[in-house]
Structure 1
Amino acid sequence: MLKKNRRRTITLPHFLSGYFISRIGDSLYTFSIPLLSYQLTGSVLVMSSLFAVSVIPIILFAPFAGVIMDRFNTKYLMLFIDFTRMGLVAALPILEHYHLLAVWCLYVITLLLSLLSTAYDIAIITVIPLFSGNQLTRANAGVQTVGQLADMIGPVVAGGLTTLFSLPAILWLDVASFGAILGVLYRLPQETVHKHQEHKFFGEMAQGFRWLIRSPVNLSLSLQAAIGNFGYSAAYATLTYYLLTTLQLGTDQIGITYSLLAAGGVAGSLIIIYLDRHFERGRLIPVLLLVGTSGFMLAAFNHSWLAPGIGFALVAACNTAWSILSASIRQETVPPALLGRVLSFSRVLTRAAMPCGALLGGWMTGAIHPGSVFLLAAGAKLIEVGIALASPIRSLNKTNRG
């Protein structure tokens, strides 16, 4: 595990500034890929299967990524990952320029990017305590706020840019955005890594898994997230298709929809700091999940073009607030030397249902009705509420008043 360096030159605001610019670029990529796949194929199943493919590396690689993060220097790993991701994104407009871009290219690059992002996302969580001290909820909320702000701005920018440039050309902005976070990561201090000589690689993986399944609260949070991710994946993987075909929106309106979704995430990341100070977590979590349920119901039954954006904004507020609380709980309860491994196995459990949800959503959209997936997602949220009320989550009290 990493050891804090007294000569640290990067503070949380420094990190967030680079992270924000990088996430702006990521949001451009996330906006462009579903539209690009639809332009190439016109198939909702391709769109949903691309989403499913992006989750597979999380399931297969996350346990290994957790051990790697606990063993090696996070700074150099994150630098390597970002350089590689930058090259992969750049490959798409290059292939398009030479008329070589095909659907299989999207699948391969999506798979590789997801593989790298799996390790990167774990690394982000493990370095947050270095900047936060005892303010874990505030620091986690800061990272989430910055990410959601970028996700809110990015689709609006991308929607406007589509009137001027091709989708592959817009991806060059994502390539350029990597420079901001690379500069921040380069300035991170050298950090001491504890060597895990007492265990072999697979033994260390088993340590993280055993700790997770023996912690009732952490296991309940993972189960809750798995059910919620199943429903959310079904709805999110087919959202662009629903907007294009059922509501017949233009790219500018689609950009506004995704920006509303991100705005909900920003609201959730801001309000959770106050809520965590004044309410018990055991009561707060099920209430948040009920708010998310209402968002999916709004998207299902209201056919105004703004309804999906507003509904998903409520869902995003709920999910972001829940994610911040769960991250703080894990950072407070998991031993630091095991954090990467426990997080990695938690991600396996929480993401395993996502490909199934995405594929089911794609089938339901084509065979039944595009809006039916929103009811499926609402049902999953209600199951999450039941888990919160029936598990040790209900006994959680506020533990961080900072």
Structure 2
Amino acid sequence: MDSQTKQAKQQQSKPHWLINRNYRFLFFGQAISLLGDQLSTFTIILWIVTIIAPGQSWGPLAISAVLTASLVPNLLIGPLAGVFVDRWNPKMTMIRMDIIRAFLTLLLVASTGVIPLPFLVHGRLPQLAQLIVICVLTFLSSTCAQFFTPSYMGLIATIVSKEQRPQSASLGQTMQAFAAIVGPPLAAPLLYTFGIKWALLLDALSFIVSFLTISAIQSSSKATGHSEQSSFWREFKEGIYFSFSNTTVRTIVTTSFIATLGAGAFDALYVFFLTGNLHTSASFTGIIATALGIGTIGGAFLASKIVPFLKLEHLLIYSLLGIGLCLVVISRLTYFAPALILFLVFGIFLASLRVASGPLLMNETPQTMLGRVFAVLGPTSALASLFSALLSGFLASVLLVNLHSHFLGMTFGPIDTIFVGVGILFLLSALYASSALSKKVAQVEPVSMP
């Protein structure tokens, strides 16, 4: 018996390729699904620009409507979805959401006119009707994602051990960065070579692949909710209370909000920084995006190697410090080459921040509350992204538009001043995280409301 136990422990401690069998299925399924999502997002934008509203003044408004339709469920449905996620089996929830999203994508394919529709001129929907269908189906697909994403984190907590969660977070970051690098450049060739229907069919196929790989996972997890369910609103308030009363979870929610604020400002303004401060053509934006993607992949790999020697709390703090310093230094640059290197370093720290925050959140949160906690994190990040885009645009275009000042021999304009402000915000968040996590009290049981 002793020899069998020893052999089992040795087998368990032996490193496996992509952690374990269950995670391998999940990883490959989600990698294909994420690639399909990237293709679909950019295909829909190209569909609107080149087919539905070519040369129309309302084209940008149409794209904004679709992007808004994808964001609204995150803000309105996301916080509520966590209660159901905690009540349901995470694996079955993911399977159902994949089936629904595959069906919704097929409906989107039908709206392109690939199948002649009766009682319509030329058998296809008019432009406005097509746009409405896109918005409605995008809204419904995003609603499914509000249930899928927290369930994904719950399934990770079930099939991946605590010690291997940083590695799974690293692999997840690599997966997302790869999809972000490869997906957008493929969208245009697919659309113009094979047509809109085939590009969307690939997205539907990616959901089917995800469904099949998740079905192959051998998980004994049942519904994670309480055996005797209390009222919906009480469970909802318990999730909110735990998220902001637990020191570690509150710190991660706060720093994630700040990180998303910074990322939103960067996404909205870096093209203008490229042309105005670095004196480079806007066509170089693709190179910046590639550098960020490569940095994210490299950062995820490095973070997974550092974690055995560095506490996750310290990795979180150092990552925030690194991001803040990168943004401050980038704001002072006037040449493209050194900025490109720092954009790559920025991606490294951004990935290590995510590698630290995900496992920290999972380790600190009871399994029965994972859905509700992640349902708090997602909408707060979406709110930060929306607020950041609006605020940075207002600051750059209205409040600071005529800014041109000198301080300590340095020149400050509107865009680089915003970058400095965001960098300082990251540095302050690092100080906050350091102070909060140093006073952390271990909490392993769910917190009950007073």
Does the alignment reach a TM-score above 0.5? yes
- Corresponding residue of 2:297: 266
Alignment partner of 1:211 out of 215, 222, 242: 242
Does structure 1 residue 341 correspond to structure 2 residue 369? no
Separation in 1, partners of 2:136, 2:273: 25
Does structure 1 residue 185 correspond to structure 2 residue 214? yes
Alignment partner of 1:133 out of 161, 167, 171: 161
1:216 to partner: Cα distance: 1.3
Amino acid at match of 2:360: I
Alignment partner of 1:384 out of 413, 416, 429: 429
The structure whose RCO (Cα within 8 Å, separation 6+) is larger is 1
Matched-pair contact (CA < 8 Å) for 1:217–1:393: no
Matched-pair contact (CA < 8 Å) for 2:75–2:383: yes
- Corresponding residue of 2:251: 220
Does structure 1 residue 74 correspond to structure 2 residue 90? yes
Separation in 1, partners of 2:274, 2:63: 13
- Corresponding residue of 1:319: 350
Amino acid at match of 1:78: M
Amino acid at match of 2:437: P
Separation in 2, partners of 1:95, 1:375: 46
Alignment partner of 2:204 out of 175, 179, 202: 175
Unpaired runs of 5+ in structure 2? 1-19, 114-123, 402-413, 443-450
Amino acid at match of 2:204: V
Matches within 5 A, 1:267-306: 267-297=298-328, 300=331
Amino acid at match of 1:122: P
- Residue deviations 1:97-146, cap 9 Å, x none? 44645555554444333222122111111111222123221222222222
Separation in 1, partners of 2:216, 2:229: 32
* Structure-2 change in CA distance of 1:366 and 1:165 (3 Å): farther
Choose 1 or 2 for highest CA Rg: 2
Helix, strand or coil at the partner of 1:11? helix
Separation in 1, partners of 2:390, 2:423: 17
| TM-score (norm: length of structure 2) | 0.72
Does structure 1 residue 328 correspond to structure 2 residue 339? no
- Residue deviations 1:250-273, cap 9 Å, x none? 5xx655543433222212211111
| TM-score (norm: length of structure 1) | 0.79
Range that drifts further, 372-381 or 52-61: 372-381
* Structure-2 change in CA distance of 1:90 and 1:343 (3 Å): same
Range that drifts further, 350-359 or 264-273: 350-359
Matches within 5 A, 1:141-156: 141-156=170-185
Amino acid at match of 1:292: I
Range that drifts further, 367-376 or 284-293: 367-376
* Structure-2 change in CA distance of 1:194 and 1:150 (3 Å): closer
- Corresponding residue of 2:4: none
Identity rate, percent: 21
Separation in 1, partners of 2:198, 2:343: 28
Alignment partner of 2:38 out of 17, 22, 27: 27
Alignment partner of 2:78 out of 62, 66, 70: 62
Q: What is the CA RMSD across the aligned residues, in angstroms?
A: 3.8
Unpaired runs of 5+ in structure 1? 1-8, 398-402
Matched-pair contact (CA < 8 Å) for 1:48–1:361: no
Separation in 1, partners of 2:339, 2:389: 18
* Structure-2 change in CA distance of 1:51 and 1:123 (3 Å): same
Alignment partner of 1:231 out of 242, 262, 279: 262
Alignment partner of 2:144 out of 102, 106, 116: 116
* Structure-2 change in CA distance of 1:322 and 1:22 (3 Å): same
Range that drifts further, 365-374 or 76-85: 365-374
Amino acid at match of 2:177: Q
1:183 to partner: Cα distance: 1.1
Separation in 1, partners of 2:197, 2:424: 37
Amino acid at match of 1:24: L
Separation in 2, partners of 1:141, 1:132: 13
Separation in 1, partners of 2:48, 2:336: 23
Separation in 1, partners of 2:441, 2:40: 38
Helix, strand or coil at the partner of 2:217? coil
- Corresponding residue of 1:355: 386
Amino acid at match of 1:67: V
- Corresponding residue of 1:3: none
Matched-pair contact (CA < 8 Å) for 1:152–1:261: no
1:62 to partner: Cα distance: 2.3
Amino acid at match of 1:22: S
Matched-pair contact (CA < 8 Å) for 1:249–1:305: no
* Structure-2 change in CA distance of 1:317 and 1:31 (3 Å): farther
- Corresponding residue of 1:4: none
Amino acid at match of 1:155: P
Separation in 2, partners of 1:51, 1:298: 32
1:68 to partner: Cα distance: 1.0
Aligned positions, number: 387
1:279 to partner: Cα distance: 2.4
Range that drifts further, 345-354 or 63-72: 345-354
